[in-house]
Amino acid sequence: MNVDLFHGEDIEGFSKPKNIRKKAMDYLARREYGQEELVRKLERAGYNYDAVVAEVLKLAEEDLQSDKRFAQSFVQVRISQGKGPVRICHELKKRGISQSLVDSEITASGQDWFALAKEIRERKFGLDPPSDFAHKARQMRFLQYRGFEADQVRFAVSVNGDR
């Protein structure tokens, strides 16, 4: 029998569907994961890739894992953190969520991105608009880093608040 000396576990257990499912359910009990992200996490934990993919697909078929739920949750959390649509889109794509689902969930959030950009700018820099070019550039870089689009950034730093 092949035993891991550090953990006292059967190494072959890392390809058993029952063990993979249990570990995946442990992860999913804590928070939602996208399929690709869950596969990577299980693989990093030492589980067999092919067996992991098969189990994660089963979990998705049973609606225990859902890219849509993950994307919805992710978008709401990032909005509450003051992140813009560009950054949210990039982070979701990096986690393996399809562009169409990303676009749909960002739109479905109903967020007014202009208002959020202005709110984030005011929270960080105060109510007064930037006093000179250097301050304006600094605030614009901050909002771009947060993931807001150029027109949202211009609106947030504008003196008269025109879209």
Q: What is the pLDDT of residues 21-47, one digit of tens each?
A: 999 999 999 999 999 999 999 999 999
- For residue 159, the 8-state DSSP code is S
Reported as a single tens digit per residue, the pLDDT across 71-126 is 999 999 999 999 999 999 999 999 999 999 999 999 999 999 999 999 999 999 99
Taking the model in full, what pTM does it have? 0.83
What stretch(es) of the chain map to CATH 1.10.10.10?
113-157
Averaged over 146-150, what is the pLDDT?
Answer: 97
Write the pLDDT tens digit of every residue in 3-23. Answer: 443 444 445 566 788 999 999
Task: Domain 11-61: give its CATH code.
Answer: 1.10.10
Cβ contact 156:143 at 8 Å: yes
Q: What is the pLDDT of residue 17?
A: 85
pLDDT of residue 145 exceeding 50:
yes
Q: What is the CATH number of domain 67-108?
A: 1.10.10
Domain 113-157, second-level architecture: Orthogonal Bundle (1.10)
Give the bridge partners for 10, in sequence order: 3
Q: How far apart are CA 125 and CA 112, in angstroms?
A: 20
